[in-house]
Structure 1
Amino acid sequence: VEAMNRYGTDKPDMRFEMPVQEVSEAFRDGAFKVFRGLVDQGGSIRALVVPGAGRQSRAQLDKLVDEAISLGAKGLVWVRRSEEGDVQSSILKVAGAQALTRVVDMVGAQADDLTLLAGGFGFEASELLGQLRLLLAQREGLIDENRMALAWVVDFPLLEWSETEQRLVSMHHPFTSPRSEDLERLESDPASVRAQAYDLVLNGSEIAGGSIRIHDSSVQASIFRLLKISDDDAKMRFGFFLDALEYGTPPHGGIAFGLDRIIAILAGEPSIRDVMAFP
């Protein structure tokens, strides 16, 4: 959740900062009805500060808004300070200088910085700003291409809701173990349960992933029930594994590395096809 909120992705490129930040409070009681209504409905307004990009022309800013729309956004708001220190924004007339000044103060934007705002539900705004984060960091030359930045991403949700199937599905696979401290909420609040899963990310690419597996037959049965997998179906599909659990399977887990991805990064190639013997 932290990675998604802060970087808009579960594979964050940590060679540069530019975090996505929460600024909903600046609009909760404000004059801008679009953002205020979104916050009232449980959505959020999030901000991305782009260092040194505040002196772009209006044509460049309009192009940036168009790029955001091409990425699926309904719109994009920009805020900056003029050379005299006055706040400027694409929503200045409807939001007011006071709310927008509060935003740039909240995110710590400097005189030459550009602040981008987006709203949405769940991770919508963070995912959009996360894509712009990568795009603009490359465009503004903010990425140290010689740096190798590793990050562990942990505490993935165990389950997620599928709108297409109208049921809970496994974020990874149905044999991933829940975190022991979350087990008591497995039946009452399954969406809040975290998985004992982990990814290793290098420069924004996942180079390894793994998990601790379920070794308790009663926990496995609970997961199948939450996934709407009947006892008969589970026996037919996974009978050999369920039988093994009854014999006292020890705790176990693992991790798998993507060697082709690692080699591609080390070689400076954008695609793994360029380093595979038989692409």
Structure 2
Amino acid sequence: AVVDQSVQLFCEKCGFLRLDLAQKYAAKHKAFEKTGDPEKDFRFLWVSDFPMFEWDKTENRWNPAHHPFTSLHEEDMTKLEANIDSVHDPKSPLGEIRALAYDVVLNGTELGSGSIRIHRQDIQAKIFQALGMSDEEARARFGFFLEALEYGTPPHGGIALGLDRIVMILAGAESLREVIPFPKTARAVDLMVDAPTPVNETQLKELGIAIRKPTT
């Protein structure tokens, strides 16, 4: 049962239900059975209009759903400007703002993600303000970027595809471990090269790293 009626949690629960039903009935309905026809065997779709911000219950504030450099839909700019100082309001319409972000999916597997980036300094400054940053903090953390935007950055975006996932689907494999040269176990151990291995104190000292063992 859905005990929290928030839209975000409700969508997450529906997503889990969708995956569970797909795994349960895929074989019965021959959902992924190969026919030899590429148009039927390879089913692509685009996922778009991701939220620009998401509510963080732990920090009690809005945070970027992906990162603060993704551009937003032009028609949602008025919502951003009207609610730019509502970072700690869980009912703020900031959650309704859509990002120009997208995923490409093949046969239920995400192949890649991308977005259109912010190329205007005034919009980037407003995003930082909506996240509760003062002008001083934004300049201290991202001054180099804001300054670069002053010189007329062209509109730009892109997408990063997972070659290993594409190979997995083409090979008919069920796991990435079957198509990558150095697969890791569930505990992130590489059995081929016996990694990770212990690091000596000299190496840790050179890197300025100290290991703190948990207290019991």
TM-score scaled by length of structure 2: 0.69
Name the amino acid aligned to 1:250: P
Please point out which of 22, 38, 41 is paired with 1:134: 22
Report the secondary structure of 1:123's partner residue. Answer: helix
Please point out which of 162, 168, 181 is paired with 1:264: 168
Q: Deviations over 1:249-277 (max 9, x none)?
A: 11111111111111111111122222122
1:132, CA displacement in angstroms?
2.4
Q: 1:240 to 1:43 in 2, by over 3 A?
A: closer
Q: Deviations over 1:220-264 (max 9, x none)?
A: 111112222333332233222111111111111111111111111
**Where does the alignment leave 5 or more consecutive residues of structure 2 unmatched?**
35-40, 84-92, 184-216
Name the amino acid aligned to 2:24: L
1:176 aligns with 2:70: yes
Residue in 2 aligned with 1:275? 179
1:128, CA displacement in angstroms?
3.8
Deviates more, 1:158-167 or 1:221-230: 221-230
Q: How does 1:234-273 map to 2 (within 5 A)?
A: 234-273=138-177
Q: How does 1:7-46 map to 2 (within 5 A)?
A: none
Q: 1:225 to 1:207 in 2, by over 3 A?
A: same
Residue in 2 aligned with 1:143? 31
Name the amino acid aligned to 2:158: G
Residue in 2 aligned with 1:110? none
**Where does the alignment leave 5 or more consecutive residues of structure 1 unmatched?**
1-33, 45-119
Please point out which of 115, 123, 126 is paired with 1:211: 115
Q: Percent identity?
A: 48
Deviates more, 1:171-180 or 1:144-153: 144-153
Q: Deviations over 1:79-116 (max 9, x none)?
A: xxxxxxxxxxxxxxxxxxxxxxxxxxxxxxxxxxxxxx
1:278, CA displacement in angstroms?
3.1
Q: 1:135 to 1:207 in 2, by over 3 A?
A: same
Runs of 4+ in 1 over 6 A off after TM superposition: 41-44
More strand by share: 1
Kindly indicate whether structure 1 or structure 2 has the higher relative contact order, using CA contacts under 8 Å at least 6 residues apart.
1
Name the amino acid aligned to 1:266: L
Report the secondary structure of 2:76's partner residue. Answer: helix
Residues matched between the structures, number: 167
For the Cα contact (< 8 Å) 2:26–2:32, is it kept in 1?
Answer: no
Name the amino acid aligned to 1:213: R
1:206, CA displacement in angstroms?
0.8
